[in-house]
Amino acid sequence: MPRQRGFITTFYTKDFYVTIFNMEKVVLAKYTYEKLCEYFESLGEKKFRANQVFSWIWAKNAKNFSDMTDVKKELREYLSENCQILDCKIKKRQISSDGTIKYLIEYHDGLCAEAVLMRFDNRANLSMCVSSQVGCKMGCKFCATGKNGFKRNLESYEIASQILLAQNDTDLKITNVVFMGQGEPLDNYENVLGALKIINQNLQISIRRITISTCGIVDKIYELANNELVATLAISLHFSNHNQRKEIMPIERKFDLEELKAALIEYNRKTKDRITIEYILIGGLNDSKEAALELIKYLDGIKCNINLIPYNSVNDEFDFKKPDKKDMMRFKYILESAGKKVTIRLERGADIDAACGQLAGKN
């Protein structure tokens, strides 16, 4: 087994030579199964050792190498010295009065993004809302995430690490994943596809229980329709009027409602799946009877379920308000009368700023 990790760098200063040992540990969660096998082979270890460690990391919630009790002691010691399982950690944990847990996760470069764990009563589901980027470039006016600007994309394993950290923290198995944390998943397309694979294959979460939410990056929706793993697609529509949408969601200037509709119809055709239409109800802005009728007209020809989201306060800059209960029920009723399947999203974790649109990486 090699004795030393990393490499040695030597450089000359005015008075003496300085030698730096690079102490960076190998991050095992970065490796695919095949890569992990190669790594173990390079250590002179048999493939079944890689199997054992892979299973401890992804299926058995090992927090550190000493948990891996069926791995021989000498190898465990080598791994503790030279490797780490993850290169991110929970920096802060907040628990809401409704049981929702918001994690602030710190990555190797000090940047942070949230992940939110939600339990819905009477359902055997444990849902995790993951971030796909630190910040977001899309600039929707009702959302707190974009306010601090865009910092960087998260790597595939960094997205999946959010789930591992929460599973390790709670000792529970997560059953559902939604890409509704910080970031626009289709603006980090390749890494999100990689994360889908890890979540499905390594973490063994059914692809039917994974939802990707997008503000409508049309070219990527066409690509997604052809992907081998088909997750549920959710569209942050929010406005079915072009002039209104373009004022509030800048993406409408790049891909307008008509282009989006064509992509959604194609997505329906290709995948045979229904799409979830997300519609934030903002008091006095898009919750009128006329807005409901306009939405019905827009959705004609798209196979979908509609998820109404009462606006969560995040922004004092714009005068957005929560909708009245009465207006919300009227909106729902009009859609249902037209034969649409409609649900109202339960607000979770608002007291700890963990609800939709409230994630801004605040420490």
> Known catalytic residues?
114, 356
List Cβ neighbours of 156 (8 Å cut-off, separation of 6 or more): 191, 192, 193, 194, 195, 197, 198
Q: Which residues pair with 106 in a beta bridge?
A: 89, 112
Q: Which is nearer to ligand SF4, 58 or 150 (CB)?
A: 150
Stretch of 8-16, 99-107, 169-177, 213-221 contacting ligand SAH, by CB under 6 A:
213-221
- Work out whether 215 is an interface residue with ligand SAH (CB under 6 A): yes
- Work out whether 146 is an interface residue with ligand SF4 (CB under 6 A): yes
> Measured between alpha carbons, how far apart are the two ends of the chain, in Å?
42
Distance CA 246, CA 257 (A): 10
In what helix (H) or strand (E) does residue 64 lie, and over which residues does it extend? none
- Work out whether 282 is an interface residue with ligand SF4 (CB under 6 A): no
| Residue 146's binding partner out of ligand SAH, ligand SF4, none, with CB under 5 to 8 Å set by partner kind | ligand SF4
From 62, 71, 105, 138, residue interacting with ligand SF4 (rule: CB under 6 A): 138
Distance CA 36, CA 57 (A): 11
- Work out whether 184 is an interface residue with ligand SF4 (CB under 6 A): yes
- Work out whether 353 is an interface residue with ligand SAH (CB under 6 A): no
Distance CA 320, CA 108 (A): 36
- Work out whether 116 is an interface residue with ligand SAH (CB under 6 A): no
- Work out whether 215 is an interface residue with ligand SF4 (CB under 6 A): yes
List Cβ neighbours of 136 (8 Å cut-off, separation of 6 or more): 143, 145, 146, 150, 182, 183, 184, 187
Stretch of 24-32, 39-47, 225-233, 304-312 contacting ligand SAH, by CB under 6 A:
304-312
Q: Which amino acid is at 110?
A: G
Q: Measured from the CB of residue 344, what is the shortest distance to ligand SF4 in angstroms?
A: 18
Q: Which residues pair with 21 in a beta bridge?
A: 8
Q: Measured from the CB of residue 112, what is the shortest distance to ligand SAH in angstroms?
A: 16
The count of chain residues that interact with ligand SF4, using the rule CB under 6 A, is 11
Distance CA 81, CA 73 (A): 12
As given in the structure block, the two tokens for residue 35 are 């890569």
- Work out whether 267 is an interface residue with ligand SAH (CB under 6 A): no
Q: What is the dihedral of CA 158, 159, 163, 166, to 10 degrees?
A: 60
| Residue 82's binding partner out of ligand SF4, ligand SAH, none, with CB under 5 to 8 Å set by partner kind | none
Question: Which chain residues interact with ligand SAH by CB under 6 A?
Answer: 142-143, 180, 184, 213-215, 236, 278, 280, 309, 311-312, 314, 356-357
Question: Which chain residues interact with ligand SF4 by CB under 6 A?
Answer: 136, 138-140, 143, 145-146, 183-184, 215, 236
